[in-house]
Every structure is written in structure tokens, then in C-alpha cells.
Amino acid sequence: MVDYSNAAESVPSSIAELDHLFRTAGVDMTVKACNKAIEEWTENSGDITHTVAVTCTNQGNPGFDVLVNERLRLSTSVERVLLHGVGCAGGLAIMRTAAQLACGATMRGRPAKILCFACELSTANIRYELDAVAKCVELSQVSIAGALFSDAAAAFVLCNDLGLQSAIRPVFELLDWTTATIPGTKNELEFHAEAKGASKQTAWHQIEIMLIKEQVIVLCSTDLFRSMLSQPFVRLSISCCPHFVHKQCVTT
């Protein structure tokens, strides 16, 4: 349990405080999610060939994926990928990246057993959000981040055919994927690091976001169906249900 009883303090958390919290509590959450995913996958963690991770609430070297891999006692030869800067698309981004790695392994005649995980600690920024609200003179510019986001980690295992044991029945099969960036929308979900060690998120306008989502769905679905019809089928299996771990917090 993370103690957020000091959330109402007027001074926002420092960069060092936020980093320490993520690399302790955040790593703990991620390890729990990964262990649940590996347990349902029914193979050993030592069989993992790749890891693909994502976070938008921590930066540093080594990345938090190194800390998670060490806790899980994965092989030192595991290929690592750590994504950043993809915002709310992080979960889909690690699935897409893992799929590309799996296809590459298939072309080389090698098994791919890819552990994918994501972790975000948003509540740690609550003091910054409260401070920003107190200083905001225009209500339409108040960020909803403090009320919308919480803390969680999630994980799943994705395999190609060569990495899927005959006794394992996949929960899902990934047939194809696509992505799209809508021009002129980069400022809709901004998140910047600041000197106080927190972040700045612009106000989010619900109508604009819904219109953007509609554009993305139309653009992506058209490209996706065209791609599925024109390319050879490659089966990629997700061998466990995505497992989520939410952190309990105490606030006053």
C-alpha cells in the first residue's frame, strides 16, 4: 500500500521523490502483474526471450524494465525494449512492438516468448495537480488528470507459433495491427516534465477528444482491413489474459 496521506501538502513532490516511488512501489506492482501472467502462461520465466515495457511516469537509466527483469530472474540474454512518450496508447504500443519482434523471430526460424508489461504511477503527482488547480484562474483550463488517473501495472505474454507449446491454448490470437497519428493533435494530451519534478497536462476537451477518436478509428480500421487482406497470415498468440495490479492508496 502506498501512503498518500501527505497529498494535500502545498509543495509538489520532487523529481527524486517521484523517481524513488516509481522504482520501488511501481516495480513491485509490475513484478506482481508479470508473475500472474507467467503463472497462467504455465511456462518458466527463464523461457522468456524478449521483454517489451512502457511507462510515461518515469525516466532514467537503467530503465525500470531492467529492475523488473532482475526481480523476475529472467535470462541475461533476454532482448529488452522500453517505450516512452506514447501516452494512453502505451498498452497497444507494446502489443504492436511485441508482434513485430515475434514476426522477425519467425522469419529467422526462432521461437519468441515475449513478456509485455506496463506501469503508471499517476497519483504521485496529486500535489502538483492540486497546486496547479489552486493557481488556475480559468476553470476550462483545469486538468482532469488528478481525478481521472490512478496507479496500476499490467502484463501479458505473446508468442509466435515456434514459441507456443502444444499443450498451451492461447487466450487470444493477434491477427494484424496498425497505428495512425492525426495531424494537428499533438497538443491535446500534453505531458511535460517541469522543474518541480511534476508534470503539466493541458486541459482536455471531451468533444475534441471524441472527434479525434472517430478519426483514428476510421483511419486505422481502413488500413487494418486492407493489410489483413493483402498480407500472408501469421499467427501470434497471447497465452494468458492480461493481468492488472492496482495499488491501494491512502489519501486525506
Which active-site residues does the annotation give? 88
Q: Where are the beta strands (DSSP E) in 141-203?
A: 151-160, 172-174, 192-193, 199-200
Cell 526471450 sits at which residue?
49
Burial grade of 57 (CB within 10 A; 0-12, 13-18, 19 or more) = buried
Each residue of 9-38: b (16+ CB within 10 Å) or e? eeebbeeeebbebbeebbbbbbbbbbbbbb
- Dmax (CA) for the chain in angstroms is 62
Tell me how crowded residue 233 is: count the other CB atoms within 10 A of its CB: 7
